[in-house]
Homo-oligomer: A and B are copies of this chain.
Amino acid sequence: MVNQTGLELRSLVKPDGALELSLVRLPIPTPKDDEVIVRVEAAPINPSDLGLLLAAADVRAATRSGEGAQTVVTAPIAPAALRAFAGRVGKSMAVGNEGAGVVTSAGASPEAQALLGKTVSLFAGGMYGQFRTSKAADCLVLPAGITAEDGASAFVNPLTALGMVETARMEGHKGLVHTAAASNLRGDGVPLVNIVRSPAQVQILRDLGTEHIVNSAQPSFRDDLVAALKATGATLAFDAIGGGKLAGQILNSMEAVAAGASAKTYNMYGSSVHKQVYIYGTLDPGLIELTRGFGMAWGVGGWLLFNFLAKVGPEVEARLKARVANEIKTTFASHYTRTISLLEALDPDVIAAYSRRATGEKFLISPSFAVD
């Protein structure tokens, strides 16, 4: 048989501090009763994939050896960054949070058999490979006429966007702030303040018709933010950056609005309006620095889609996924600027391009493209 093995991209942090990217050839397993085998046709490179894939290595110093499926790329990791990856040293990691493809074989159970030949989306990890085993129950079956490319990004960005709005509603916030441009985030009736870091990002959001855009690189940032918070009533923020002073600045600006709105008398503990920042990304892995001026009703915390879904339970998860499937060509449509093969994913020039996380650029890996 031709398809008894499949290639899979692997990321390895070596004890000497080098990152090594390579392809491994693995036998395609026989699915258990409740499992299916998906031939992966499309898997996006999301910012959330880059941490595991590149381990903060200096990709400008990447070097390549070998040919075809034997290609190996090596890049150095700075010793300070290496500490954060101690838990994965010597472990060859499969990469790729999400993707989509066609079910090519299925276990004996009726649920698995029903998926044979169907195009499905998966949020399973290890999607940068030609075949992926999955529980039948974890497959999101795409509506008729939807391709694997259409459905490749059905989870991370759409569910994160829906999860943010759901969190705002669950926790009783009237509006929300989002840092770093996100094309997929709509408020669904919850007013939204976008904090970006450049005029180019301001323009992209303006062109999308976004109302409240604040540029943190402007000297008027604090005043602009307070005005937008006042206009929207936002007391919740989702921050993709993490490190630095931004989370504290957002809290202090929210408190300025809350205290200004309610404080006829001085309260040394600040307003009783709860102000919350969730950090869901790590664009800056450095120190989080909070300058306290936001009273006592505040919180900063991590937000992770997996943990959110576990918290809200299967019913809410199913509702959100059904919405994504229905709107995969409209609200949640993804646009890719470049589609690459597994082999191209190991090309130092291509790595340099996708590791830039440039606004408006999005890469798709198509593992079914020929490698050798």
Q: Residues of A at under 8 Å CB distance from B? A: 51-52, 84, 87-88, 91, 93, 242-243, 248, 259, 263, 266-269, 272, 274, 280, 282, 285, 287-304, 306-307, 310
Q: What would 13 A/B residue contacts be, using CB atoms closer than 8 Å?
A: A52-B268, A87-B259, A87-B266, A88-B268, A93-B266, A242-B292, A248-B288, A272-B307, A274-B307, A280-B296, A282-B292, A290-B290, A298-B301
Contacts of A52 in B (CB 8 A): 268
Which residue from B243, B259, B296, B303 sits with its C-beta under 8 Å from A296? B303
Contacts of A295 in B (CB 8 A): 302
Q: Are B88 and A266 in contact (CB under 8 A)?
A: yes
Given contacts A91-B266, A242-B292, contact A302 B297 (CB under 8 A): yes
Which residue from B263, B289, B293, B298 sits with its C-beta under 8 Å from A289? B289
A304 to B291, CA, bound (A): 18
Contacts of A302 in B (CB 8 A): 294-299
Q: Are A291 and B301 in contact (CB under 8 A)?
A: no
A291 to B295, CA, bound (A): 22
A307 to chain B minimum Cβ distance, whole angstroms, is: 6
Which residue from B93, B248, B304 sits with its C-beta under 8 Å from A269? B304
Given contacts A87-B266, A269-B306, A310-B272, contact A288 B292 (CB under 8 A): yes
Which of A52, A259, A280, A302: most chain B Cβ within 10 A? Answer: A302
Contacts of A263 in B (CB 8 A): 87
Contacts of A267 in B (CB 8 A): 87
Contacts of A248 in B (CB 8 A): 288
Q: Are B292 and A290 in contact (CB under 8 A)?
A: no
Contacts of A297 in B (CB 8 A): 302, 304, 307
Q: Are B289 and A287 in contact (CB under 8 A)?
A: yes
Which of A274, A295, A296, A300: most chain B Cβ within 10 A? Answer: A296
A239 to B155, CA, bound (A): 38
A317 to chain B minimum Cβ distance, whole angstroms, is: 15
Contacts of A301 in B (CB 8 A): 298-301
A289 to chain B minimum Cβ distance, whole angstroms, is: 5
Q: Are A288 and B290 in contact (CB under 8 A)?
A: yes
A52 to B285, CA, bound (A): 37
A147 to B237, CA, bound (A): 49
Contacts of A280 in B (CB 8 A): 296
A300 to B290, CA, bound (A): 11
Contacts of A266 in B (CB 8 A): 87-88, 91, 93
Q: Are B299 and A307 in contact (CB under 8 A)?
A: no
Contacts of A306 in B (CB 8 A): 269, 272
9 further interface pairs, Cβ-Cβ under 8 Å (given A87-B263, A288-B288): A88-B266, A280-B296, A287-B292, A288-B289, A289-B289, A289-B290, A296-B304, A299-B300, A299-B302
A372 to B181, CA, bound (A): 67
Contacts of A300 in B (CB 8 A): 290, 299-301
Contacts of A84 in B (CB 8 A): 293
Contacts of A88 in B (CB 8 A): 266, 268
A107 to chain B minimum Cβ distance, whole angstroms, is: 23
A294 to B297, CA, bound (A): 23
Closest chain B residue, CB of each to CB of A242? B292
Q: Are B268 and A51 in contact (CB under 8 A)?
A: yes
Q: Are A287 and B298 in contact (CB under 8 A)?
A: no
A310 to chain B minimum Cβ distance, whole angstroms, is: 7
